[in-house]
Amino acid sequence: MAPSEAYERVRANLDRVEMRILRACAKAHRDRDEVTLVAVTKTRSLGEVIAAHGSSLRHFGENRIEELEAKLPHLRQSLGQDLPMWHMIGHLQSRKASRAVTLVDLIHSVDSLRLARRLDRGAQEADRVVPVLLQLNVSGEESKYGFDAATPEAVDALIPELAQLEGLSHLDVRGVMTMAPIVADPEEARPVFVRLRAVRDRLRHDLAYSDWHDLSMGMTDDFEVAIQEGATLVRIGRAIFGPRDEG
């Protein structure tokens, strides 16, 4: 696909996504600037990423550190100093923590104390403080990564566990993230988003972490509902770039 074609397609799709975000914000009586759109670039070509960047997007999310490492040199060459903010939104293995802290601006998927400690150590070695979100499994699905927060009892047990984060001085915890179940009706995901916000609020109160503001939740099929329930970051790929080429 020619660069101009990619740009026109992404631009048109992005206009539609923006209208959906605006309507969801209006319904929830929220300002548009309260919601950050993260364009999910998993398996997307460099041309598509550059087209999205040219369409004003500045926040991009990758699922795999290897894919980001492969793209970054080419993007630096194409975009110069005007580089986007990179979000790590997929599962991150502890052994890859030191690589992640040098490449990304926000890690959404801190799903264990072990990973948090490895990231803190890597950030200390890189002489930086890394912004992160804690991935919580509030749906109870066994296939989902994250700290168990599916029941009141699980949240009770989570409080002392997360209190240990206070000693990790090279991590800046800004909130929480979750992956909602894939459902036919977006309304079926609403209870998951409501629960994530409630658990975040309890953690902020009980742990006195008042700066845990962010809620990363909502994707292409359910982000309007997520915004209505307080999402500050929505992770959208297909609605911006179109269906992935399965070939």
Residue 215 lies in a domain: yes
Residue 246 lies in a domain: no
Residue 151 lies in a domain: yes
Residue 97 lies in a domain: no
Residue 70 lies in a domain: yes
Residue 96 lies in a domain: no
Span 65-75, mean pLDDT? 94
Q: Write the CATH number for 11.
A: 3.20.20.10
Residue 43 Cα distances to 166, 169, 181, 238, 247, angstroms: 36, 34, 22, 11, 12
| Arithmetic mean of pLDDT over the chain | 93
Does residue 36 surpass a pLDDT of 80? yes
The domain tally of the chain equals: 1
Q: Is the pTM of this model over 0.75?
A: yes
Span 196-215, mean pLDDT? 92
What is the pLDDT confidence band of residue 3, given thresholds at 50, 70 and 90? Answer: low
Residue 211 Cα distances to 56, 106, 117, angstroms: 28, 15, 20
Residue 95 lies in a domain: no
What is the pLDDT confidence band of residue 247, given thresholds at 50, 70 and 90? Answer: very low
pLDDT given at position 153: 96
Range of the domain at 134: 3-90+102-241
